A and B are shown apart, each in its own frame.
Chain A
């Protein structure tokens, strides 16, 4: 890890901390949400951006974290922190099972298999509506939304926790890609055959990458549940799998900062466009097309290509 890497990423973290004191109320709330969703995107980036696993089912991991937390708090009155750890466990376990099966496939088949598993997971949420309240979802009781004396429904506490979670995920992802393990993942993405010939256990690495990715996604889902107090099936739907892909591709797949930039960009694109016209989806669509035409490696990827060759 070079000093320049560290300066850049710690700088972003410091900047986000400073924004806690500077942002007006509305944008303060938006940033808190962006940071939690960016953790989800960081998780996705490890599978897709670095390892080349094009999954269209990551919403199930996000959902596993969310429902792990939600069901534990709602039905068993388990407080926020232990519930969050349960959510992490659910995500890791699901990622392990899905990985063992789905990693037998690759490429587009992998994409479809993950999509199908996620669709089944979504339907399972609806099927057990007795416990999950299906599509309606659950509102997490207020007294479960606290860690000790920190009230997670408080705007300030929420922002700082989102910031802490984001910082950990960001640094973890930076560390991972600079670590030999991360470099093997990139090698897998670039040429799996060669990596195997070099003696790497490619299957094991891919599984490990998917489990790490799923667990981070679940961490985001679980945090979202306690922080915003709502658990709903729409977060486990195919749309959220596509969002993850979109954010990462837009920000720059295989870059550490890309996921955050992608989420921030899409969020504000929708927000600003919806202020201008009811047809904001149209604007979002046009921008997406333009980006693929003129910044094919995503925003951060483009910066890396043009200005900063060894940006992680």
Chain B
């Protein structure tokens, strides 16, 4: 659907709400850096809004993510507008449902480029949707910022117009997790992953990473998509397994985790999972008690940590998250915290890129890509609440901190943070050498 968010209309740049303004002031340094923009806005030549096309997984398998991706994006746009917009122009989010479907997503990009006059497109999560839509972005010469965590961008299979500056990819996430798994949990690892798209990034990268860290993969179980019961696969877990590594996605994940608990009963091995298995799921749901004491990867902590800096609380307040990472208006509406922050950060990268490129109109799209490619360090702060990141312009991929959390009393508590330096790997592509 084409929907210009009502929030940008009412509380946009021209009449910032009092609350928005106060919040902006409260952000201190962050706000100060953007203050000159107010002046720039008043003298800007065009007050036409910058239009950002947002491909939302509103229906289909990704719907739980789409809802939170949208909320985060709307909050980020509100913040950006409250601080003077981009190059003095207000920003508008144009939302279209892509049905979590590659064909529809490609059509949605055409709609952004040719019908709703968007300057850029952004926001896709599911990797098959990204892979299906990216060729169209290249043909349309439409900057396409994805928030997917797939390795597709950095592997070189996409094109110069597709970038992932807001979220790290699975390969770097795994290289950060492997040493922790082998050092702390155990050397013999069995992995359980979905037999599609997103699972392969894990399958292909975990074994080398674990071996490099001195462990070994003793079992590897690919679960077919559309599977709804899992107990029958668990006996394939080798008996000498010390650690189970699980990463599942989709509506059956809760069943998966629950049945794993029932299978092992009181004598379980160590369990390490990617939070993807339980995004948008309440950890206190019935059947999940057995997860207590197990570990999860998180892209950004779901639960408010004791030592959370101000910019993190500001981000959480803006999006509307309570301390448990659920919606402030409905505690049973749990967010996709470990991924959705990437929408916030990506929108800030777009803003920074457009400002660096002096972006005026769709003529400057190429300059925008080049400006983002030139970016490197992104300091943690109001624009990057997920932590300090390093962008690699050649591979169009960002590297950032990874969080390892333990379930304690139904909450995820961060045990270890791995900085971006430890997650880098050699380049597999140089997009800057490709033509536009």
Q: Which residues of A approach B to under 8 Å, CB–CB?
A: 24-26, 29-30, 33, 123, 126-127, 129, 133-140, 153, 155, 228-230, 232-235, 271, 274-278, 280-281
Contact = CB atoms under 8 A, between A and B. Distances in A.
A274 B97 contact: yes
28 contacts: A25-B113, A25-B115, A126-B195, A129-B195, A129-B196, A129-B200, A133-B131, A133-B197, A133-B200, A134-B196, A135-B196, A135-B225, A136-B127, A136-B150, A136-B196, A136-B198, A136-B200, A140-B135, A153-B138, A228-B136, A230-B102, A232-B102, A233-B128, A235-B102, A274-B1, A277-B1, A278-B1, A278-B3
Main secondary structure on A side of the interface with B:
helix
B58 A278 contact: yes
A140 B139 CA distance: 13
Contact of A234 (B102, B111, B135): B102
Contacts of B135: 139-140, 153, 228-230
Given A26-B115, A278-B97, 7 more contacts: A26-B111, A129-B195, A135-B128, A153-B138, A228-B136, A233-B128, A234-B103
B242 interface: no
A238 B157 CA distance: 27
Nearest to A229: B135
Question: Which of B2, B96, B102 is packed against the most chain A CB atoms within 10 Å?
Answer: B102
A229 B200 CA distance: 21
Nearest to B194: A135
A276 B2 CA distance: 7
Interface in B121-136: 127-128, 131-132, 134-136
Contacts of B132: 137, 230, 232, 234
Contacts of B200: 129, 133-134, 136
B195 A137 contact: no
Nearest to A270: B104
Contacts of A137: 102, 128, 131-132
Interface of B: 1-3, 58-59, 96-97, 101-103, 106-107, 110-111, 113-115, 127-128, 131-132, 134-136, 138-139, 150, 152, 157-158, 195-198, 200, 224-225
A29 B2 CA distance: 18
A113 B3 CA distance: 43
B133 to A, nearest CB: 8
Contacts of A136: 127-128, 131, 150, 152, 196-198, 200
Contacts of A230: 102, 106, 131-132, 135
A2 B89 CA distance: 61
Nearest to B201: A136
Nearest to B106: A228
Nearest to B199: A134
A261 B131 CA distance: 30
A281 B63 CA distance: 14
A276 B1 CA distance: 6
Contacts of B97: 274, 278, 280
B106 A134 contact: no
B110 A30 contact: yes
Nearest to B101: A234
B144 to A, nearest CB: 13
Contacts of B138: 153
A235 B134 CA distance: 17
A176 B356 CA distance: 61
A134 B197 contact: yes
A29 B224 contact: no
Contacts of B139: 153, 155, 229
A25 B131 contact: no
A220 to B, nearest CB: 13
Contacts of A229: 135-136, 139
Given A139-B131, A232-B102, A280-B97, A25 B196 contact: no
A228 B138 CA distance: 11
A149 B138 CA distance: 19
Given A129-B195, A228-B135, A275-B1, A24 B128 contact: no
Question: Which of A123, A234, A280 is packed against the most chain B CB atoms within 10 Å?
Answer: A234
A33 B115 CA distance: 16
A235 B103 contact: yes
Contacts of B107: 29-30, 33, 271
Given A135-B225, A136-B196, A139-B135, A25 B114 contact: yes
A33 B105 CA distance: 13
Question: Which of A127, A139, A274, A278 is packed against the most chain B CB atoms within 10 Å?
Answer: A274
Nearest to A151: B139
Contact of B114 (A24, A123, A281): A24
